[in-house]
A and B are shown apart, each in its own frame.
Chain A
Amino acid sequence: MDVLYFAWVRERIGLPKETIDTSAVTVADLVEELRAREERYAMAFSDISALRVALDQELSEFDAPLDGVREVAFFPPMTGG
């Protein structure tokens, strides 16, 4: 699946998008997998209460299942307007 990062999450991880092969069942499982990869991921995901997640471009929750999802995006709380 495609994993996208925006704003300071993108800056900390150092890339806007990557394709990942994962067997993670939920978003939280995917976060655990990413955290274990490298320090920069651990930094970006150190406090998930400061993050939001979208699944296939719909806002979602960290306990949501990833079954059938093609695009996951992680980002800080939005500041539009």
Chain B
Amino acid sequence: MDIRVQSDTFDLGHEAQVFAQRQQGMGAVVTFSGIVRDNDQTLQAMEIEQYPGMTLSQLQSFSAQARDRFSLGDVLVIHRHGRLKPGDIIMMVATSAPHRVDAFQAAEFLMDYLKSRAPFWKREIAKDGSATWVDAKSSDEDLLDRW
């Protein structure tokens, strides 16, 4: 398992490539990445606050749970914090498994937990300087029920 919480950006293509190449006997690699979205062209920046220490231990715990639940090879999670701009990469998850179903499901499991149980908080700063904390969605919370 490779779990990283960092403010620096990272190269999605490079990380995916390195992850895929170090797998042995795995037929499937799934990657998901989250990007800062600016639907109506009003966003200046997104700030991501974290609970240092707890973020890493939570991500490690979800990844360990994913490995218990699914037939997995390996897990990679990278999650950024700090000030990001529209179009910047926020995070990525990669999973490997002998077959695709486990790799897809484990990636979804990790994302569902990451959304609602990892101690990160997003704040949007508009071009006019006003700032708004992003509310958690009940639909994201509901998704946890499927596991």
Contact = CB atoms under 8 A, between A and B. Distances in A.
A4 interface: yes
A8 B133 contact: yes
A41 interface: no
A73 B115 contact: no
B51 A81 contact: no
Contacts of A8: 133
Interface residues of A, number: 15
Interface string B29-41: 0000010000000
Interface residues of B, number: 25
B90 A79 contact: no
B118 A78 contact: yes
A77 interface: yes
A73 B57 CA distance: 15
Interface string A29-63: 00000000000000000000000001001010000
